[in-house]
Amino acid sequence: MLVIYFFADGACEKDLELSIDNPVFAIDASTIDMCLSLFQWTNFRSTKAGIKLHVQLDLRSAIPEFIQITTAAIHEVNILDTISYQIDSFYILDRGYVDFKRLYRIHFSKAFFVIRAKDNLNFRCVKSNKKNKASGILADQLITVLGFYASKDYPDKIRRIKFYDEEHDRVLVFLTNNFELDANEIAKLYKHRWKIELFFKWIKQNLKIKTFWGTSENAVRVQIWIAISAYIIVAIAKKRFNLKQSLYEILQVISVSVFDKMPIKDLFANQIQQNFKELNHNQLNIFE
């Protein structure tokens, strides 16, 4: 089992619009569907095959801190056993990761988690803090989880925040072990989880890992790692050289200029056209 950690010094930026300086990470997984007849080693159902990409993304730099590739049969919550948690860091998770034993490990590591609660959460309210319906806070409570296994796995109190998302007209319930941060800040932290969804979308759409050149496990893993490495190089270059273009635009410019002997910073010094796929000044016009 190969696990990779990345450390990108100098690539961090404070763009989360939060009052905290703590490191903030999102943890999630994405499944890449595959053809069962060609990739038999990836089967996880009788008629389906696939692999799963598990990522811990630094939300300040949009650079992965941790990546692991498994078959799709491995549930994402198991990856929490592999991650090393940093003191005073925030870990943002979706409700698929609700496992009180593993959440208590984060708490025991002196780190913080923010996770969406499941609809069937069984709990007892110990204390209610002041609501702020004007800002979307419908409830801010201190609770203990009920149930034989849940209460045993997480014996301490948990903070439960009920938040109305006006933009999408929905109610979200968050659980966290941070009792100091304002309830709206907790909601804002979770809002930034969408960056990891963009990471998966960017990797799949722009680096073409849905089409594989080989069918063996090694060939598939090599192609995925190449795609991830390309993403990280582009992301680091964007931060270090203060490039205003999007990651997609940077990748397109580099792809059409791959044989140019020019520093990356100089490559983006001039105004760049938006449609990079059609940009090729070296082609002759046969109609002239």
Amino acid letter at 61?
A: S
| Structure confidence at residue 224 (pLDDT) | 83
Residue 284: pLDDT over 70: no
pLDDT band at 9 (very low <50, low <70, confident <90, very high): very low
Return the pLDDT at 15: 56
pTM of the model: 0.80
Looking at residues 11-26, what average pLDDT do you find?
A: 72
Q: Which of 62-76, 180-194, 253-267 has the highest mean pLDDT?
A: 180-194
* Confidence class for position 209, pLDDT limits 50, 70, 90: low
pLDDT-derived band at 1 (thresholds 50, 70, 90) equals: very low
Q: What is the pLDDT of residues 143-196, one digit of tens each?
A: 999 999 999 999 999 999 999 999 889 999 999 999 999 999 999 999 999 889
The stretch 201-214 carries a mean pLDDT of 71
Ordered domains of the chain (ranges, CATH) = 3-200 (3.90.350.10), 217-278 (no CATH)
Tokens found for residue 105: 């490990």
How many Å apart are CA 148 and CA 146, to the nearest integer?
7
Q: Residue 210: pLDDT band by 50, 70, 90 thresholds?
A: low
pLDDT at 221: 83
* pLDDT classification of 279: cutoffs 50, 70, 90: very low
Please compute the mean of the pLDDT values over residues 123-127 and round it to a whole number: 96
pLDDT at 263: 81
- Among 34-38, 128-132, 213-217, 236-240, which is the least confidently predicted range? 34-38
User: pLDDT value at position 264?
Assistant: 79
Q: Which pLDDT score, from 0 to 100, does residue 7 have?
A: 45
Residue 32 CA to residue 234 CA, distance in Å, equals: 22
What is the rounded CA–CA span in Å between residue 276 and residue 114?
A: 39
Contact 146/132 with Cβ under 8 angstroms?
Answer: no
